[in-house]
Amino acid sequence: MTAVDSTKTLCPYCGVGCGLEVLPSPQFDQAGSGQELSGQSWKVRGDRAHPSSQGMVCVKGATVAEALNRDRLLYPMIRDSLNDKFRRASWDQALELITARIQTVRSTQGSDGVCMYGSGQLQTEDYYIAQKLLKGCLGTNNFDSNSRLCMSSTVAGYVQSLGSDGPPCCYEDLELTDCVFLIGTNAAECHPISFNRLQKHHKKNPHVKMVVVDPRRTKTAEDADLHLAIHPGTDIDLLNGIAHLLLRWDCVDADFIANHTEGFSEFQEVIQHYSPDVVAERCGISMSDLETAARWWAESNRVLSLWSMGVSQSSEGTAKVRAIINLHLMTGQIGKVGAGPFSLTGQPNAMGGREAGGLCNLLPGYRHVKFLEQRAEVEQFWGVPAGQISSNWGRTAWDIITGLETDEVGLLWIVATNPAVSLPDLERVKAALWRSPFTIQQDAYYPTETAKFAHVLLPAAQWGEKTGTMTNSERTVTLCQAFCLPPGEARPDWEIIAEVGCRLGFADKFPFISSAEVFAEYVQLTQGRVCDMSGLSHDRLRQEGPLQWPCPKEESGIKVAENLAPIPDQSLPKAAKPAKRLYTDHQFSSADGRARFSADHSRGLAEPPDAAYPFVLTTGRLYGHWHTQTRTGRIEKIRRMHPNPFLEIHPRDAAKIGVEDHSIIEVRSRRGVARFPAKVTTAIAPGTVFVPIHWGELWADQAEANAMTHERSCPDSKQPELKACAVQLTPIAIE
């Protein structure tokens, strides 16, 4: 690797999107000889100039460089069957093999036999090239990403309620709010730097109220003025119950409702059924706590709500998001400073992926495959035949698995993600992956649990080794600059995918010699859309630092990629204005400019507990680890911080089944089984148990949270209910 001076980049873990500065650092022998070791190492510190994080970093960001040189996949590897050993191949051999297999699948099964499954770890340029190849050139919408498991309910909720995806708020609102509701989000551990900003504001200003809604007493809940430990699956009951009280007390913004919304009377009809006694009973909270929460909402000038996976990983995830937005609409708490519905995105570039169309129902620029004019805009821009882009959803993450089961998927290309740990119902997933006729895994690391199911391994450049952009939860786009060369023969993801496109005969669609050129083409497709970033370029981001969208070309005066066909103006919605916040003029993104109330009754859990499986298992993340540990499992400090998986169980339940702290408990659902040491704690409510998601086969025996979870999903977003399933618990005697 080649050293350079301090480089500004972005943390590649969570959606907070903290700015980092990286400097070369000599590495010394740990045994104390004072000997400088060969090989480059890097010092990472927070970038004080980054507007989102202001110099702060958590343990993940601070240690990320330690995994750059560990267990890297250095060369393409291939094998004929999963029972064979991998053998090294040249890039030419590997890409020829992939190209030939894609052609075979297309000629025998059609393009829909090809699937790519990506990740919020990818940069926007990677995402864009993948969309162009799959959706534009091959004519299949079969690109989905692990954002399907993360925040796809939020995407659907924003679109249905506000007319478009896109969080309307910014991090500054964390420091300007009077009352914050954190619903289904353990931000203190999972979005620690955003939470730091909120926590400081909360501590400094005694009038600021913090309400946390979570079945667990998380670190976030420990800071709350009010913790509503609701039963899993009762979020909509709670939210409708608060709406009921606001209406009963006449604490609604009648002008806002009349002038900027639709559907209030249907909503009124629904919430009349959510009286405080009914809601308190269903949620397992007291009526006075419910009333306190509603009163704080009613009395505060600025109300902000934050949520993440606890809301969206649900079989009614989209309805939950809509229920949160309902509260903001009925009180006019949106489009103003310190207020609004604000999703906290999980992954570093899940937002960029959404903007680039990186789900199987989306197209670049927050377009949807179901709209003819939006497909036509993209087809025309890409120069592909009219009708090339299908109006049907492609395969979602779970549909890829069922497609493997039914032999409808002939080739699966997995990029920067580890589905053999992260998908629900793992036994079924592994069986499906095992029968896959041809699987490519493109990743920076080896081994991973998913590599076991691959026929081809492609070494990918990762954070610090490639330059591209990422968008964080507050719509800030940061240029993530390379500061070293990739090891071995690893290459940037976009380059690999583009080269396959060229070999398949689409060289004219992939003329790019740098990721800056890819970005310059991509941003044109956002012009006039809510997520307009046509005023951005790599050069501008390098010179001016991170910038939020909307950032239209007109305002910036920047000209981009003029050799490409402009999108006809008449097909575009009106241009968004550059702003920290969306909808400050209360003109929403729907055709009539109005937001929509939704009238949803709670349906509860897809798999409620019963006599045979009497406990609810809920899952979540820990402060130090990231997802399936592909990177953090290789960082000593984080492994020491979280050495083992565990199961949180309430003392009453522990006594009932006869276990103590550290006893081994077997957890069995209708789909699978795992074992965990018990952590007996009142932080979890009776009847519910919690396990972290981070441990796959590589890091522990029989401790996979997703061995037990199920695939039943939200009808709107197709996001599986990873947060809750019914289980039975059995103590295991250790001999």
Binding site for ligand SF4 (CB under 6 A): 11, 13-14, 16-18, 53, 57-58, 60-61, 192-193
Q: Give the 3-state DSSP-derived string for 40-65, with helices as H, strands as E and coil as C.
A: CEEEEEECCCCCCCCCCCCHHHHHHH
10 Å Cβ neighbour count for 37? 12
Rg (CA), the chain: 25
Residues 246/327, Cβ–Cβ less than 8 Å = yes
Closest C-alpha among 251, 20, 13 to residue 119: 13
CB of 196 to ligand SF4, least distance (A): 9
CB of 57 to ligand SF4, least distance (A): 4
Enter the DSSP assignment of 486.
Answer: P
Residues 457/76, Cβ–Cβ less than 8 Å = yes
Closest CB to ligand SF4 among residues 346, 486: 346
CB of 191 to ligand SF4, least distance (A): 6
User: Residues 6 or more apart from 637 whose CB is under 8 A from it?
Assistant: 59, 63, 66, 624
CB of 53 to ligand SF4, least distance (A): 6
CB of 3 to ligand SF4, least distance (A): 23
Closest CB to ligand SF4 among residues 190, 359: 190
Closest CB to ligand SF4 among residues 156, 309: 309
Closest CB to ligand SF4 among residues 94, 150: 150
Closest C-alpha among 438, 418, 449 to residue 347: 418
- Separation CA 673–CA 675 (nearest Å): 7
Closest CB to ligand SF4 among residues 11, 236: 11
Closest C-alpha among 186, 184, 264, 182 to residue 225: 182
Residue bearing tokens 């004072």: 34
Closest CB to ligand SF4 among residues 67, 414: 67
CB of 62 to ligand SF4, least distance (A): 7
* Beta-ladder partners of 118: 145
Closest CB to ligand SF4 among residues 53, 313: 53
Q: Which residue, judged by CB position, is nearest to ligand SF4 in the bound state?
A: 61
> What SS3 state is found at 100?
helix
Closest CB to ligand SF4 among residues 62, 95: 62
Closest CB to ligand SF4 among residues 45, 670: 45
CB of 56 to ligand SF4, least distance (A): 7
How far, in Å, are 117, 143, 183, 548, 663 from residue 626 at the CA level?
19, 23, 21, 25, 26
Residue bearing tokens 């480089």: 7
- Parallel/antiparallel/unpaired status of strands 688-692 and 615-620: parallel
Closest CB to ligand SF4 among residues 11, 582: 11
CB of 346 to ligand SF4, least distance (A): 10
Residues 303/178, Cβ–Cβ less than 8 Å = yes
Closest C-alpha among 351, 298, 403, 364 to residue 155: 351
CB of 478 to ligand SF4, least distance (A): 10
Residues 322/343, Cβ–Cβ less than 8 Å = no
CB of 705 to ligand SF4, least distance (A): 20
